[in-house]
Amino acid sequence: MAHEDIKKLVSDIKSLKVQGARNVAKTALKALILQAKYSKAKNSKSFYDEIKSLSGVLAETRPTEPMMRNLLERASTYLYEKSRKEKRQLDQLKNDFINEQKNYIKKIDEDAEKLFAYGARLVPNDAVVITHCHSSTVTGILKKAKSKNIKVIACETRPRYQGRITAKELAEAGIDVTLVVDGAMNLYMKKADLVLVGADSVTSRGDLINKVGTSTLAHIARMHDVSFYSAAELFKYSIMTFYGTREKIEERDPSEVWEKPPKGVKISNPAFDVTAAKYINGYITEVGVIPPQSFFTLATQKLGVKIYE
């Protein structure tokens, strides 16, 4: 039975209390750290089984979160190789595992700062930027670009209204921000210089999986000849898409859309949609701004994955 502190982190991820792929991934690693601290394992195999089991539970909380999946897999691989190659005492193995995850959480934040800097350079002076949903990566870029006298239009993002989180965060940072309903995307695109969204997942073809409504925003941006960029760490690459498996689109509770719908009314509530690479000008990453077609190569290099073997 998992410790209550771990259960809370799992619940926070599943309930969307934790927002943003990077924050979800960091919270998942923190859960692994707690598992190592509370572990009752008597040997390295039992400890590995505990970590692997919890990783499976965490991965199921948010099916469309490859950044979390990739980092959980990295943690399990680290533990497996450490225990196999180095005959360490169990307590030392647990401490090494904890320190490795703490160090990687720090590295995630360091990579984010690099991404913020690349993104801020991309934003023109006096730009009007349209955003969708809430991405801590996007707000990080916009805060970095604050001195450029930018204005932000945040789509409210039904049904969970994550756009309100973005608007509140930017307003508190002193940035000129206007919240608009999702249906007003086309109207406000006429005023925009740039569209900037986050990313939940990036496929092998460079397609973007992000909050539902993102694809519509990209199509409208193309209609108005407005550049469309996604801020995405390379860890958001979905390895399974190389082998022909589609990233699962999470279907959330219908009550988020309509708590008590009339009899006979069916509710569909997909959390994400897919934006084709051809609508994306580039991905803002920790290694720079890259074309969609380059994401696969750079991501597999970073993950250390040799998918052709």
Residues marked as catalytic: 133, 200
Q: Rounded to the nearest 5 degrees, what angle is found at the Cα of 115, between the Cα atoms of 112 and 120?
A: 125
CA–CA separation, 139 and 23 (whole Å)? 13
Contact call for residues 165 and 30 (beta carbons, < 8 A):
no
Residues in contact with 45: Cβ distance below 8 Å, sequence separation at least 6, in sequence order? 83
Structure tokens at 195: 């569209």
4 φψ region: left (φ > 0), alpha (ψ -120 to 50), beta (else): alpha
CB 28 within 8 A of CB 68: yes
Strand 194-197 and strand 128-132: the pairing is parallel
- Looking at this protein, which amino acid is placed at residue 166? T
What CA–CA distances, in Å, run from 144 to 7, 17, 149?
Answer: 35, 25, 11
Question: Chain centroid to CA 78: how far?
Answer: 22
Sheet holding 272-275, edge to edge: 201-202, 208-211, 272-275
